[in-house]
Structure 1
Amino acid sequence: MKYVMGIDLGTSGVKVILVDENGKVCSEASKPYRLIQEEPGYCEQQPEDWVKQTIAAMKELMEKLPDHSREVEGISFSGQMHGLVLLNESRQVLRPAILWNDTRTTAQCTHITKRLGDRLQKITKNRALEGFTLPKLLWIKEHEPHIDQQIDMFLLPKDYVRFRLTGALHCDYSDAAGTLMFNIGDSEWSEEICQAFDIPRHICPPLVTSEAEVGPLLPQIAREVGIKEGAKVFAGGADNACGAIGAGIVSSDRTLCSIGTSGVILSYEEDHERELQGNLHLFHHAKKDAFYTMGVTLSAGYSLNWIKGLLAPEESFQSLLEGAANITPGAKGLLFTPYLVGERTPHADSSIRGSFIGLDSRHERAHVVRAVLEGITFSLNESIALFRQAGKNINSIVSIGGGARSRTWLQMQADIFQAEVIQLDNEQGPALGAAMLAAVGCGWYPSLDACADLLIHQTAIYEPKQQHANVYADLFPLYQRIYTQTRDIHAGLEPYRSV
């Protein structure tokens, strides 16, 4: 039996899975790493932590299954998007990586928009938002010129880990599309954008497809983790693109809801010409010659983690959600907006913060938890509303991540989205998508579509309960008004957040 390995470099940790030729996930291993938040809005990590923990997870996986170690044929990657890793000429890391959820670059985003105007949207199909890579580069230019002068190349997070495991420097199209420096239509780095901001073209890494073979593991890495030398390594893709593959979103009739630290509504696209609005994004898919549109809630699962830490730090998530299951829709008149670190879709606003609206003395812990779940789902529904306004027919949604592990939350998604919500029988998310890229790269399947047909199966379908859907249809417009009604208040509070 032969095997492939999928490596998903997430925001809070790395996950590694082993998949056999029949599509069975044989085992998995995960390792955490720390987040550095030295100032409000700052989110950084040490790239060396990614490398050490990835190697540790690979080694643990092989130690669990020592008989399989000689049969690992291919390895591929998924990774958190947008993060900025800076290398000098000697390929040493110059500073901690600035992550996707870092919001320090509002001034740089304003500068990009003023400098390029409509050209930015035409070239990149995206607006200038704090999460993207280009604003981070410009922040470095302005605030750390001594670092800027040493930059010889930048990489995205998973690409740095892959470089350390193979010695090869590359970036795939799906991750490049999230930098705000990539020409979506021409599938190449934008000379116009680089010249506009005095960015040397040579610091942009070589581009490859997600299915491209980029080299074997370095012999010393193969020996350390217990994998035979010569195992093929494939480029892989951005976490959302790989998550889409791992959920079978490889054709135009499929939509994905993925709830991790952030939350994503993603829809497959055949081309890059769709007109977008409300801070929806368009990126290259990890599937060759395909694209996807996407809306993002920055604090989805993060909001649930936050409320658990406040109210039930010693309890399991299952215990926390059991109480919410007994609360009727609407949480007894309590609404929550999940803007804990700002928001992206439909409001590109790094200053907005979360709110509880309607608190009274009758509310108990279960009402608060229910309101948080509903608020996260309302925020995701704003992206679905934008897709529908743009002409997308969304009747069926595959749900993965934290939102797919609770029957209460799955039913809530169906009721709020007013669509059937599909739960998969073996939901491994981006790690499975990465493994599927390796499997296709190794020639096990003729295409990702064929691979998805054989590997991905649904286990349950949640249909909207009309009575609940009617309640949420009434509450959703009220939820949407909270942003405009509280925006100025939150802006006024911003100076006090660092006190």
Structure 2
Amino acid sequence: MKHYLGIDIGTFESKGVLVDADGEIVASTAQPHKMIVPQPGWAEHRAREDWWDDFTFLSRKLLAESGVAPTAIAAIGASAIGPCMLPVDADGEPLTNAVLYGVDTRAAMEIAELTEWIGEAILLDRCGNALTSQSIGPKILWLKRNRPEIFAKAHRILTSTSYLVYRLTGAFVIDHYTAANFSPFYQIEEKTWSDALADDIIGLDRLPDLAWTTDIAGVVTARAAEETGLAPGTPVIAGTVDAAAEALSVGVLSSGDMMIMYGSTIFIIMITEARVRDPRLWYAPWLFPHQHAAMAGLATSGTLIHWFRDQFARDLDPSTSMQVLAAEAEQSPPGAKGLVVLPYFSGERTPIHDAKAKGVIFGLDLTHSRGDIYRAMLEGIACGTNHIIDTYAEAGQEPSAILAVGGGTKNRVWAQATSDISGRTQIVRAKTVGASYGDAFLAALAVGDVGPDSILQWNPVVSDFVADAANAEVYRRQYGIFRELYPKTRDLMERLGGHP
């Protein structure tokens, strides 16, 4: 029987699966790694150690545990956090740590300057997106200004998935969906690179070659086969960002379908009939020609949960600490006894796009417990998620179906609060392993072994989160305060600035 390998590199963990021709997972495994925060507002990974070493470890472990012969793998799909900025030399060797996606806000000055030089209206029209911390163009400019010696040596600027595909095949490629985050260099209508809006930052020949997600980028080289245990000559797809692969893994196929990904960040993707022009949301061509996607994401979600555990649950056994905190949150009532949290602990992405935004825990008194504060953190993330859903609706894009995926779906307080605050049902499918499963499906799709609708049979619906009307009033009050709290403290956040 044919098999398909899918590996995804996340912010804190990499995951891999081997899937058979019926969509059954025959082996799965994971490998943790760290996010490096050298200073406030920065977020980095080591590309070789955190991305490629994870990939080789997972591929070898999956082969060993499954007993599947490398030659039985018909195709390979990879995804990773994105968009990231990684300068590499002519041999594809990283020249510095990778600068991560929107959680890294170091290029705030470059974002402001490029927006002023080019004009927000022109950016939105030509690139589909306002410049934000999610954009790679300003980060390339930051590199040129602040690390000129590294910039000069950079043969290509890659993103995370591009680096994995290069290590597997020797090809420098990037899919259109990811490339749309390289504003101001990607032109939406033409679906090509252009320096028309910024011709003095970097040569276009130093960017990866463009491809569609299921295009075959190349085959596993002899060197990559030796490192990974895979068979030389195995097809490798161009791949995509983790969130896009995750959306496909739960059946986001048609206009109106929305995915909420509960991970290190909340990430939302909705397929739309036409291009959405709203500066609060991100736009990209979808994974396949003639489809469109509107995206949004919070800056800190699962990352905030990890931070809370590491700072305020040091007394707990790390192996069970998340379960204990979840139980404590269950003991706190909806509304967390009047606490409201702004989860802007790394600034915020959509819809406010404010790198200077700060985290706030509002309403504390001496009766509050750790469980109350933890629940308020979860509800704050849920409020931020609903703020995004409301933004879609205001842009004329009310979701027809919401599919939830990711590790956070196992945190019932978090997922249920999201449905209660939004008043919307979230559908959960049988396999919530996420992007790596989507990668395996994309690999099967690329070699013609399945059609797009096959994912509905591979991964059927098993449950849902339905809004509880009994909690509507308390959450209406909480969400109203949440929406007022940021505008009333924004000026103070800017005055506070960073650490002295």
Q: How does 1:157-196 map to 2 (within 5 A)?
A: 157-180=160-183, 181-195=185-199
Give the distance between the partners of 2:178 and 2:404, measured in 1 at CA.
22
Give the distance between the partners of 1:297 and 1:371, measured in 2 at CA.
16
Give the distance between the partners of 1:266 and 1:209, measured in 2 at CA.
18
Corresponding position of 2:386: 381
Out of 235, 249, 253, the position equivalent to 2:252 is 249
Corresponding position of 1:4: 4
Which residue identity lines up with residue 153 of structure 1 in the other structure? R
Shift of 1:300: 0.9
Instruction: Structure 1: give runs of 5+ residues left out of the alignment.
Output: none
Which residue identity lines up with residue 16 of structure 2 in the other structure? V
Give the distance between the partners of 1:68 and 1:128, measured in 2 at CA.
46
Q: Is the 8 A contact 2:256 2:272 kept in 1?
A: no
Relative to structure 1, is the Cα distance of residues 199 and 220 closer, same or farther in structure 2, using a 3 angstrom cutoff?
closer
Give the distance between the partners of 2:410 and 2:228, measured in 1 at CA.
31
Give the distance between the partners of 2:463 and 2:13, measured in 1 at CA.
28
Which residue identity lines up with residue 191 of structure 1 in the other structure? D
Corresponding position of 2:368: 363
Shift of 1:131: 2.7
Q: How does 1:217-256 map to 2 (within 5 A)?
A: 217-256=220-259
Instruction: Structure 2: give runs of 5+ residues left out of the alignment.
Output: none
Mapped pair 1:354 → 2:359:
yes
Give the distance between the partners of 2:286 and 2:107, measured in 1 at CA.
26
Shift of 1:230: 2.1
Q: Is the 8 A contact 2:419 2:467 kept in 1?
A: yes
Q: How does 1:133-212 map to 2 (within 5 A)?
A: 133-180=136-183, 181-195=185-199, 197-212=200-215
Corresponding position of 2:412: 407
Regions of 4+ moved over 6 Å: none
Out of 483, 488, 491, the position equivalent to 2:486 is 483
Shift of 1:338: 0.6
Give the distance between the partners of 1:219 and 1:321, measured in 2 at CA.
47
Give the distance between the partners of 2:414 and 2:152, measured in 1 at CA.
49
Give the distance between the partners of 1:38 and 1:465, measured in 2 at CA.
42
Alignment RMSD: 1.6
Give the distance between the partners of 2:138 and 2:7, measured in 1 at CA.
27
Give the distance between the partners of 1:38 and 1:461, measured in 2 at CA.
40
Q: Is the 8 A contact 1:395 1:419 kept in 2?
A: no
Q: How does 1:228-377 map to 2 (within 5 A)?
A: 228-272=231-275, 274-277=276-279, 279-313=280-314, 314=317, 315-377=320-382
Which residue identity lines up with residue 406 of structure 2 in the other structure? G
**Partner SS for 1:266:** strand
Give the distance between the partners of 1:124 and 1:215, measured in 2 at CA.
28
Shift of 1:154: 0.9
Which residue identity lines up with residue 40 of structure 1 in the other structure? P
Give the distance between the partners of 2:136 and 2:415, measured in 1 at CA.
33
Give the distance between the partners of 2:171 and 2:290, measured in 1 at CA.
24
Which residue identity lines up with residue 463 of structure 2 in the other structure? A
**Partner SS for 1:171:** strand
Which residue identity lines up with residue 417 of structure 1 in the other structure? S
32-41 vs 240-249, greater mean Cα deviation? 32-41
**Partner SS for 1:192:** coil
**Partner SS for 2:336:** coil
Q: Is the 8 A contact 2:257 2:400 kept in 1?
A: no
Shift of 1:90: 4.1
Relative to structure 1, is the Cα distance of residues 116 and 58 closer, same or farther in structure 2, using a 3 angstrom cutoff?
same
Corresponding position of 2:113: 111
Q: Is the 8 A contact 2:262 2:302 kept in 1?
A: yes
Corresponding position of 2:34: 34
Q: Is the 8 A contact 1:262 1:296 kept in 2?
A: yes
Corresponding position of 1:57: 58
Relative to structure 1, is the Cα distance of residues 456 and 379 closer, same or farther in structure 2, using a 3 angstrom cutoff?
same
Deviations 1:199-221 (A, max 9, x none): 21211211110000111111232
Q: Is the 8 A contact 1:210 1:288 kept in 2?
A: no
**Partner SS for 2:115:** helix
Shift of 1:265: 2.3
Q: Is the 8 A contact 1:238 1:286 kept in 2?
A: no
Give the distance between the partners of 1:152 and 1:435, measured in 2 at CA.
30
Corresponding position of 1:46: 46
Shift of 1:343: 0.3
Deviations 1:296-331 (A, max 9, x none): 110011111111222224243122112212322111
Deviations 1:255-312 (A, max 9, x none): 111121111222112332x2314x2111122233322111211001111111122222
**Partner SS for 2:197:** helix
Mapped pair 1:69 → 2:70:
yes
**Partner SS for 2:338:** coil
Which residue identity lines up with residue 38 of structure 1 in the other structure? P
Q: Is the 8 A contact 2:344 2:359 kept in 1?
A: yes
Give the distance between the partners of 2:37 and 2:328, measured in 1 at CA.
32
Deviations 1:466-488 (A, max 9, x none): 12123212221210111112222
Give the distance between the partners of 1:30 and 1:185, measured in 2 at CA.
38
Give the distance between the partners of 1:485 and 1:189, measured in 2 at CA.
41
Q: TM-score, normalised by structure 1?
A: 0.95
Give the distance between the partners of 1:44 and 1:223, measured in 2 at CA.
28
64-73 vs 434-443, greater mean Cα deviation? 64-73
Q: Is the 8 A contact 2:407 2:432 kept in 1?
A: no
Give the distance between the partners of 1:270 and 1:236, measured in 2 at CA.
23
Shift of 1:145: 1.7
Give the distance between the partners of 2:248 and 2:141, measured in 1 at CA.
33
Percent of pairs identical after alignment? Answer: 27
